[in-house]
């Protein structure tokens, strides 16, 4: 992981050993209480039909308009990592529905707009001028992430329902996220129900992608076993009607001994290739337009407060840091056809974007 282009090197390099230690430590740390654990009052119940957020109106950015909104499309993007959403946390990495809702409402109130991991990697950041992209990611396909009620809408206190609750209160908050799933998505074992769940999410703009079939530690596996675990999940996703997985999240954030195995390989006659690989920690991600962007080592920020290992590595810390350093975060020019940046970052952008670059 590298520091953001042109920025003061305040963001440390986190190697895989540190990430694994941090994840294990967070699993066993006492829960305690912090600012993020206070119960957050829910807003009014959402409508029966989930809200639809229309795309922003088309604009053509100019140097003047980019300057007016402080556009910096080489800024940092928080890719937030969530696991179980439980009314009573059983591990430090769990979040309660109130905590998730509170964090999403803070993001919405500060002008963040969700995009999927695949959109981020592709540089498809189509959000209003002055807004900031955020990537909401949920690992393991836990039942608390998604389930449909008898009325055909997401059940109360699931991650998807909470995302829609927030979108209902903040119309600019686009209700999308990325779900990296395993063998029994959302706790479902019946293939028809699995297919219905994945189909609903894909139809509503969510990304459903590969997290291996049984969530092994890839560092401990042979190249063949890694490929098998990924291909088995790839085949399942295809059967369930999900598009090709452009992105892949490493179980436990643990990279294989041969790192290229996480992004491409072959097993039993089936090949796989990912456009990006996401880690398990522990800082905001570099813009996909930057020369320093490495699509196969994209860091994520665990959603959590500022206790223990999270004093400087989890979402409360980083979102506060980005709030205090607005010039360091990604701010959109509102024009997906151009990339706007302050002139001082001119040398930090990939050459292929020179033809669409706006500086001020």
pLDDT tens digits along 270-314: 999 999 999 998 899 999 999 999 999 999 999 999 999 899 999
258: pLDDT strictly greater than 50: yes
User: Given this model, what pLDDT does residue 193 score?
Assistant: 97
- What's the pLDDT score for residue 273? 98
What is the model's pLDDT at position 57? 75
Q: Is the residue at 355 inside a domain?
A: no
Which of 15-19, 88-92, 161-165, 169-173 has the weakest average pLDDT? 15-19
Q: Quick check: 78 pLDDT over 70?
A: yes
Q: Is residue 11 part of a domain?
A: no
**How high is the pLDDT of residue 295?**
98
Q: How confident is the model at residue 58 (pLDDT cuts 50, 70, 90)?
A: confident
Q: What is the mean pLDDT of residues 67-87?
A: 98
pLDDT score at 49: 53
Is the CB of residue 118 less than 8 Å from the CB of residue 275?
A: yes
Arithmetic mean of pLDDT over the chain: 89
Q: Is residue 334 part of a domain?
A: no
Question: Of all residues in the chain, what percent carry a pLDDT higher than 90?
Answer: 83
Q: Each residue of 158-174: pLDDT tens digit?
A: 999 999 999 999 999 99
Question: Could you write out the DSSP letters of every residue in 163-217?
Answer: HHHHHHHSTTS----EEEE-SSGGG--SHHHHHHHHHHHHHTT-EEEE--SS---
More confident residue, 9 or 172: 172
| Predicted pLDDT of residue 242 | 98
Answer whether residue 289 is part of any domain.
yes
With beta carbons less than 8 A apart as the criterion, state whether 77 and 200 touch: no
CA dihedral for 249, 250, 253, 258, sign (positive or negative): negative
Tell me the average pLDDT across 179-201. 98
* Lowest-confidence segment of 51-55, 60-64, 230-234, 242-246 by average pLDDT: 51-55
**pLDDT, position 52:** 64
DSSP SS3 for 357: strand
Overall average pLDDT of the 316-338 stretch: 98
| Contact between residue 113 and residue 172 where contact means Cβ atoms under 8 Å apart | yes
What average pLDDT does range 204-228 have in this prediction? 98
The confidence band for 32, taking pLDDT boundaries of 50, 70 and 90, is very low
Domain that holds residue 236: 16-61+74-327
Indicate the number of domains in the chain.
1
- Within a domain: residue 307? yes
Strand 264-267 with 270-273, pairing: antiparallel
Of the two residues 2 and 306, the one the predictor is more confident about is 306
Whether 359 is in a domain gets the answer no
Domain of 164, CATH number, reads 3.20.20.370
- The answer to whether residue 332 sits within a structural domain is no
Q: What is the pLDDT of residue 282?
A: 87
Q: Assess contact for 163 and 122: CB atoms under 8 A.
A: no
Overall average pLDDT of the 206-215 stretch: 98
Asked whether residue 134 is domain-assigned, the answer is yes
User: In the predicted model, is pLDDT for residue 26 greater than 50?
Assistant: no
């Amino acid at each position: 992981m590298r520091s953001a282009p042109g920025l003061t090197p305040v963001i440390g390099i986190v190697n895989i050993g540190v990430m694994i230690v941090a994840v294990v430590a967070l699993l066993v740390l006492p829960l305690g209480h912090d600012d993020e654990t206070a119960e957050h009052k829910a807003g009014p119940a959402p409508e029966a039909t989930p809200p639809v957020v229309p795309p922003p109106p088309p604009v053509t950015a100019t140097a003047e308009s980019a300057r007016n909104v402080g556009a910096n499309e080489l800024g940092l993007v928080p890719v937030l990592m969530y696991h179980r959403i439980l009314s009573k946390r059983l591990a430090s990495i769990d979040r309660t529905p109130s905590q998730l809702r509170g964090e999403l409402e803070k993001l919405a109130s500060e002008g963040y707009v969700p995009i999927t991991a695949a959109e981020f990697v592709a540089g498809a950041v189509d959000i209003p001028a002055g807004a900031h992209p955020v990537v909401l990611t949920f690992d393991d396909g836990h039942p608390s992430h998604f389930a449909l009620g008898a009325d055909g809408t997401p059940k109360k206190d699931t991650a998807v329902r909470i995302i829609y609750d927030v979108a209902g209160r903040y119309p600019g908050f686009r209700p999308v996220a990325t779900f990296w799933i395993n063998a029994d998505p959302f706790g479902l074992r019946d293939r028809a129900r699995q297919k219905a769940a994945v189909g609903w999410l894909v139809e509503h703009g969510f990304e459903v992608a590969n997290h291996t079939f049984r969530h092994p530690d890839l560092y401990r596996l042979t190249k063949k076993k890694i490929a098998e675990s990924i291909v088995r999940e790839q085949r399942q996703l295809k059967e369930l009607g999900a598009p090709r997985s452009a992105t892949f999240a490493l179980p436990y954030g643990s990279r294989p001994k041969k790192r290229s195995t996480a992004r491409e390989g072959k097993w039993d006659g089936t090949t796989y290739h990912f456009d990006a690989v996401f880690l398990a920690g522990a800082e905001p991600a570099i813009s996909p337009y930057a020369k320093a962007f490495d699509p196969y080592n994209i860091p994520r920020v665990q959603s959590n407060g500022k206790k223990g290992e999270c004093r400087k590595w989890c979402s409360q810390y980083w979102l506060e840091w980005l709030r205090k350093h607005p010039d360091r975060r990604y701010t959109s020019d509102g024009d997906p056809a151009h990339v706007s940046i302050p002139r001082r970052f001119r040398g930090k952008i990939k050459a292929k974007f020179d033809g669409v670059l706006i500086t001020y």
